[in-house]
Chains A and B, each alone.
Chain A
Amino acid sequence: MIALLTSILSIILRAGTSLIYATVGEIYTERSGILNLGLEGMMLMGAVTAFATAYYTGSLLLALGVAMIVGALLATLHAFLTVTMRANQVVSGLSVTLFGSGLASFLGQRLGPASNTYYLVGLVGPRFTSIPIPLLSDIPVLGALFQQDILTYVVYGLVPLAWFYMYKTRNGLNLRAVGENPQTADAMGINVTRVRYLYTILGGMLVSLGGAHLSLSYTPGWAENLTGGRGWIVIALVIFAMWNPARAPLGALLFGGINAVQFRLQAAGTNISAAFLNMLPYLMTVLVLVMMTWWEALNKRIGAPAALGKAYMREDK
């Protein structure tokens, strides 16, 4: 029994890690007022470039670096279109997804070695292995927390750091102001454009890292449509976390957990409930949204950043 629980916890953590990276990243982006629907494309690009880099260079660190650069580039494109060119954020994000997904698929069929007809699919590359922490990993059930690979351990630190930065530092204050009320932030001397670029790019890097985790640790390897729609799930997770990084693990583990655990449930013969379990998080997110909007008090405290999705332009003087 204990072994079962421990292994379930372990699966949940591994499945949730990539989601947490991406959720924290998108929380930062949306907090600056930019909606980035290009997550699916970014995660796929992060996954394929990380895997290819690791395969050819053997260096996992370099692979992560490349994924982050790729994520930053895609995010810069989105930021340029939405912040500087004031394009429609929904259409821009969707374009990034379309482009990123297509390009990832393209690269997945071109970057491989000739011996594999240039495909990356089916190759075995370097991967992050789990590093159990002595003593702590022997704790029954909770020991699973200490039997993870480095990327998950980094997440343990990332979440509190992300929370601290957002709520306890001067920069986090400025960020929140920009997403809530760019006119006020501008009047107080904050450079709205710079803030939006910065956190969109930062968010993109984290999202891409989430994708890299899939191809370098979770799956591992590359396959068509590796992310399986996770990029869209992240949008829901951001709402679920109510734009607070500290709450990101909650939803990520829930979604990731349900996803992963459903195989166990299928094996146990409860095929039907698996599908509804899958639907539940999305329905719950809609419910959370409705509640938050309806409940005005709630909305003022933990609602969406008020300026999310709207382009900002200072009045001509």
Chain B
Amino acid sequence: MRVRHARLPSVGLTVSRGQLMAGLFLFTSTSGLLPRVINSVASEGWNGAIFITFNTSIIVWGAWASACYLALSADDHDRVRPLDIAIACVTFVIAALPMAHFSWLALSLFSSYVYLTSPRKSPLQRSATIFFAICVPMFWGPAMLALAAPLLLKIDAFLVATLIGAERTGNVVNFVGSGPGIQIWAACSSFHNISHAALAWVALTQILERDLGVKDLFWCGLAIILAASVNLARLTMLVQWPEYFDTIHGPLGHQIAGSLTIILVAFVCIFGQRRELFARA
């Protein structure tokens, strides 16, 4: 089949629609992730940064790799439309601004556009879905948490206090027995785990080229509940055993909780889509 390319007049580049979209997906997402990599290496050194997966969840890295693969394997035969060029220019300008937040904002807008203008279930549309889902834990989730912190952190505190029968005031849960308590900050919130679990589910459905159905609500919901439960269990242990606060709250507790979350989420995602997954294998 003959490949129809559009010539971009200003730079003299010949690109197809698929190449333009893939290039911008790579640029916007990498410009959001790279500052985290650079800053984690600068603060922790290479070994430490690799150990904490560059301050970014391994679920995000996996979703990003699969979205990039889909974008690069997209159909290369479509012609660039004038609107594509206009949207690409706006996306590039927003993503080039000197704050990583703008990369995620640009990626959200661009992936929405690609999703709406690409053929149904095409690799480009599936890639756009994953890229948009990545923006949730990387940008929209933390932004929502910053704006609605009092309510969301109180929900976490309420659940911990109810589970263990401890006293609570706002987002502060008193230690069991006597003494002060823990203050739940945004970084400790279970809402982070929720967006990561949902991202893992969405990424796998798109890789497997599946249509979303009612059963997805069940399995994705289960992944979310398990991911949030691990975090709630960790918070509850902090309140129950304050003498082990440093161990549970420190890097060791963080790594154990993080690894357990990933194992549980991966298990639910694989088990929930085992038929499609093993049919492909």
- Do these two chains really belong together in a complex? no
